Structures are given as structure tokens and as C-alpha cells.
Amino acid sequence: KAGVTQTPRYLIKTRGQQVTLSCSPISGHRSVSWYQQTPGQGLQFLFEYFSETQRNKGNFPGRFSGRQFSNSRSEMNVSTLELGDSALYLCASSPEGVGNEQFFGPGTRLTVL
């Protein structure tokens, strides 16, 4: 099975712009979670989608949003970018039901100038 894929892998934006990141989960996985990883804060949960519905949300401002499509692919959007949004954005997928493992994608490295 192919792993979780994320596009793009690297992105450079300027303050005030918006960005959309994409995640394709492992085939058959319906849960997709998004995390932000920074050196100072570590891995922080953004949100989780299951069958096109947001099931959980972390403590991030409304500038961070996401959605999931019927094929389980997910996108996250960050509007009005700030310097502090520079981070590695990781997507993880899990199988249907109560799975014990999340499979992470390689991440998208976002740099905001």
C-alpha cells in the first residue's frame, strides 16, 4: 500500500497570504488528522476529519481550517499568514474504527517571510 502523501513538500509564502496544503491518506483510511510541528512547541493537534466531518479540533485560531472530500483526501487552509505559522505541517491517517496507530505523511514545510 502506498503511504500517506502530502503536497507540496516545501512552500514559501509572505505574511498576509493564504495557503492550502493537501493530504492523501492510505487507501481505505477514513480518518485524517493534521498537526503542526515547531521546534518550540513540538507536535500540536490541529483537527481531525472522519467521513468528511470534523470530529475534533485543537486550540488554533480560526485562520486554520480544513476539509475532507468523499475520497478521504483532505486539505487544510491557513489564511492571513503570520511569521509564527512557519512550521512543518504533518498529516496522519488511520483506519476506520478505533485504530491504535496513526500513519504520518512526510509533511509540508511552510516558511512565512
Partner 1 sequence: GQNIDQPTEMTATEGAIVQINCTYQTSGFNGLFWYQQHAGEAPTFLSYNVLDGLEEKGRFSSFLSRSKGYSYLLLKELQMKDSASYLCAVRSTWGDYKLSFGAGTTVTVRA
Q: Which is nearer to partner 1, 80 or 111 (CB)?
A: 111
Does residue 70 touch partner 1 according to CB under 8 A?
no
* Residue pair 81/19 in contact by the 8 Å Cβ criterion: yes
Q: What angle do CA 13, 59, 4 make, to 5 degrees?
A: 60
Interface residue with partner 1 among 66, 107, 110, 112 (CB under 8 A) is 107
**Closest distance of CB 46 from partner 1, Å:** 10
The dihedrals phi and psi of 75, each to the nearest 5 degrees, come to -130, 145
**50: Cβ–Cβ under 8 A, 6 or more apart, which residues?**
30, 31, 32, 68
Span 18-57, contacts to partner 1 by CB under 8 A: 31, 33, 35, 41-45, 48, 50, 55-56
52: cell is 468528511
Interface residue with partner 1 among 26, 102, 108, 112 (CB under 8 A) is 102
Q: Which residues pair with 89 in a beta bridge?
A: 36, 108
Does residue 60 touch partner 1 according to CB under 8 A?
no
For partner 1, the binding residues (CB under 8 A) are 4, 31, 33, 35, 41-45, 48, 50, 55-56, 58, 90, 92, 94, 97-107
